[in-house]
Structure 1
Amino acid sequence: MDKPAQRPRARDLGVVVGTLPTGPHNAVTDVPGVLVGHTTLDDGHDLHTGVAAVVPGQLGPGRWTLPAAVFTGNGYGKLVGSTQVDELGVLESPVVLTATLSVFRAADAVLTHLMRHRPEGLSFNPLVGETNDGHLSDIRRRPITEEHVRDAIAAATGGVPAQGCVGAGTGTTALGYKAGIGTSSRTVPRPGGAVTVGALTQSNFGGLLTVLGVPMPVEELVPDADRAEPAGNSCMIVVATDASLDSRQLGRIARRAVFAMARVGAAYSNGSGDYAIAFSTAEPDEPRIPDAELTPVFAAVLDAVEEALLDSLFTATTTRGMGHTSHAVPHEAVLDRLKAANRLPHPAYDPGHSPNEPRRSSR
């Protein structure tokens, strides 16, 4: 079934998070070498799921690991391979996201991918996470196959990734609304050259949607909305950067990524598996950024993750499945509330312009 065209991103509507500039695509792919690919399964009825792959192009012959860290905000979930990342501080595979009961098949598929591309070696550590899209999709069918994972990795490209109801976000719900995949980036000026921070989120968590500090209750903005709370509430966040950081510092980055969920109204409930994965693509011989100089990088992480979370909702479309309906965020109602709260100092952004370039007002 063909999905509707992607809806505007938050920034397209003038909803701008923070003051740091974005990268050219306002996406995790602004980090050089980082690619994103999706496989989407949607039968228009009770199957709305898929795979999202974040692929660091730097992984290859001569460099099979990157500095990395995982932060578990709440461990009610499945992140296959996370303990080895914690122990050794390195990432050695694409980061693949999918649905809860398909995570094990996806991990096996990533293992096959690693074995094919690394004929040497006896052991490999795929990193595969999930959120529970069972509110809208029949997760017990476990529809994800090796081919779906392989296709997502093979399809990974640069540029602006698809967002909203695509890949691992096809069937997710967050903060009362239909959610999905979101992405954003920030650049941080530094002596010797700016560094880039990019984030990609798979949003499927509970709470009260909050945009630029203004609450957006679904029962008020969509009075006939289905208020049945999804059985599983989780969030997977992937943060990539070309800043030269070690695994300990990347752990600090990953913690800020989970902290950013609070900005959009996350409830951090008992059943919410909230995880962040952070990795660096910097060359091994680059001098590390001192801890005392990380504050602007932390700010970039918080802003990029917040905007990625908003984009995961703003770009999603109303979806029905498994006897439930998750409604899309009503853009006009959100903008009306933001205007009433004097939280829209920026003019609307023209999608045809650079993400950093506001459209000139005709007034």
Structure 2
Amino acid sequence: MTAQPRLRLADLGVTLGPHPRGRHNAITDVPGVLVGHSTVHTDRLNTGVTAIVPEVIGADRRWIPAGLAVGNGYGKLVGATQLQELGAIETPILLTSTLSAYRVADALLGHMLSRPGYETTTTLNPVVGETNDGFLSDIRSRPLGTQHVEEALASATSGPVAEGSVGAGSGTVALGFKGGIGTSSRTVTVGDARHTVGAVVQSNFSGTLSIAGVPMPSAELVPGPTAETVGNSCMIVVATDAPLDARQLARGARRAVFAMRGVGADFAQGSGDYAIAFSVGQAAPPDDALLSPLFQATMDAVEEALVNSLLAATTQSHADGHIAHAIPLPAVRERLAAAGVVRVMDSNV
């Protein structure tokens, strides 16, 4: 039997927010932003690394402005304090599994120090975020390191982004379903200029899923017990070519965390919910009075990225019997149609 192809929110005919999606509906619609993955799937491991790479960072431009928002600080975000203090990132942003975060950070540091122009560098701040994939992976083995970091960085490209059970999303669980990596983008006018904002998410949190305001409880949509979210966290990375400064980016990052509520996050006490926003723009920052459309576009892109992370994910299991089911697409379409969000279409899709 041929596996059913996974879909994205746009494929279901759902419009989310007033701003149009970018060409690929991905963070890579922001010029010069690349994404790559290293994915590990075995009978005991479902884990990996996802790299978000601003091409501009290098020997000629050592940092770009960035902002951090902490929704709940129960997490291991390597590099967070310097990012917050200086309002800048100096490296690509990597996402991975909780107990592998420190090995991944060391490998990222080694990668950067080996680059031309960094021969005399004595301080550098690697940024690595994580969520816990321990329900579907032997997390204590800490299997990720230099090989996986180099693979994720080397594979980083523009264009469409692989989503679902890939890279850092290989073993995550969200809202009772298989979670994963998701992405989306919006184009928006800021003042007289047209800009793009895009997001990548690593979903691994609890709550009751809602898509475009329509409840999708996992207990009603998947067979057997719903998957358990271990660690209960979410990492969000937002990129834009709007020339925002660090303070403005931190404001945008806070909106990115707010977007989690739109898909039904319960923000449990043990959740580590973080958003990092950065800009590759180089002009003077716009006046704050012009930022509301960009904030709205950020929330819409993040909400859609979170939904895409579930829609694209495939069912994954572990040798100990744990299983996280992919959300069933026919049931999603049926509920959206019943709520009048989309028209009734071919039931085989």
TM-score bin (small chain): over 0.9
Q: Could you tell me which amino acid in structure 2 is paired with residue 305 of structure 1?
A: V
Residue matched to 2:220 = 220
**Are 1:319 and 2:308 an aligned pair?**
no
The whole-number CA distance in structure 2 between the counterparts of 1:157 and 1:347 is: 34
Q: Could you tell me which amino acid in structure 2 is paired with residue 171 of structure 1?
A: G
The whole-number CA distance in structure 2 between the counterparts of 1:102 and 1:135 is: 15
TM-score (norm 2): 0.95
Moved more, 5-14 or 297-306: 5-14
Gaps of 5+ in 2: none
Shift of the alpha carbon at 1:10? 1.3
Matches within 5 A, 1:183-198: 183-198=183-198
TM-score (norm 1): 0.91
Cα pair 1:226 1:324 within 8 Å, conserved: no
Change (3 A) 1:27 1:116: same
Change (3 A) 1:190 1:72: closer
Matches within 5 A, 1:41-56: 41-43=40-42, 45-56=43-54
Alignment size in residue pairs: 341
**Are 1:138 and 2:138 an aligned pair?**
yes
Residue matched to 2:8 = 9
Matches within 5 A, 1:324-343: 324-343=322-341
Shift of the alpha carbon at 1:18? 1.3
Shift of the alpha carbon at 1:335? 1.2
Moved more, 59-68 or 4-13: 4-13
Matches within 5 A, 1:113-152: 113-117=111-115, 118-152=118-152
Partner-residue secondary structure (3-state), 2:52? strand
Cα pair 1:226 1:326 within 8 Å, conserved: no
Q: Could you tell me which amino acid in structure 2 is paired with residue 317 of structure 1?
A: T
Partner-residue secondary structure (3-state), 2:295? helix
The whole-number CA distance in structure 1 between the counterparts of 2:50 and 2:4 is: 18
For residues 223-269 of structure 1, give each alpha carbon's deviation from its aligned partner in whole angstroms, at most 9, with x where no partner exists: x2323522211000000000011101000010000000000000100
Residue matched to 1:271 = 270
Partner-residue secondary structure (3-state), 2:38? strand
Aligned CA-pair RMSD: 1.5
The whole-number CA distance in structure 1 between the counterparts of 2:206 and 2:323 is: 15
Partner-residue secondary structure (3-state), 2:300? helix
Change (3 A) 1:75 1:200: same
Residue matched to 2:305 = 308
Cα pair 1:37 1:153 within 8 Å, conserved: yes
The whole-number CA distance in structure 2 between the counterparts of 1:289 and 1:175 is: 37
Shift of the alpha carbon at 1:5? 8.3
Identity %: 57
Q: Could you tell me which amino acid in structure 1 is paired with residue 113 of structure 2?
A: M
The whole-number CA distance in structure 2 between the counterparts of 1:190 and 1:273 is: 31
Moved more, 112-121 or 74-83: 112-121
Cα pair 1:209 1:215 within 8 Å, conserved: yes
The whole-number CA distance in structure 1 between the counterparts of 2:34 and 2:4 is: 22
The whole-number CA distance in structure 1 between the counterparts of 2:338 and 2:174 is: 24
Shift of the alpha carbon at 1:324? 1.1
Residue matched to 1:70 = 68
For residues 338-361 of structure 1, give each alpha carbon's deviation from its aligned partner in whole angstroms, at most 9, with x where no partner exists: 11111226989xxxxxxxxxxxxx
Residue matched to 1:238 = 237
Residue number among 89, 96, 104 corresponding to 1:106 in the alignment? 104
The whole-number CA distance in structure 1 between the counterparts of 2:181 and 2:230 is: 19
Change (3 A) 1:16 1:225: farther
Residue number among 287, 295, 301 corresponding to 1:290 in the alignment? 287
The whole-number CA distance in structure 2 between the counterparts of 1:64 and 1:12 is: 39
For residues 87-141 of structure 1, give each alpha carbon's deviation from its aligned partner in whole angstroms, at most 9, with x where no partner exists: 0111000000000100000000011011112223210000001000001111011
The whole-number CA distance in structure 1 between the counterparts of 2:137 and 2:231 is: 12
Cα pair 1:6 1:316 within 8 Å, conserved: no
Partner-residue secondary structure (3-state), 2:76? coil
Partner-residue secondary structure (3-state), 1:189? strand
Residue matched to 1:211 = 211
**Are 1:96 and 2:76 an aligned pair?**
no
**Are 1:299 and 2:326 an aligned pair?**
no
The whole-number CA distance in structure 1 between the counterparts of 2:59 and 2:256 is: 30
For residues 196-217 of structure 1, give each alpha carbon's deviation from its aligned partner in whole angstroms, at most 9, with x where no partner exists: 0000000000000000111101
Change (3 A) 1:131 1:342: same
Cα pair 1:14 1:346 within 8 Å, conserved: no
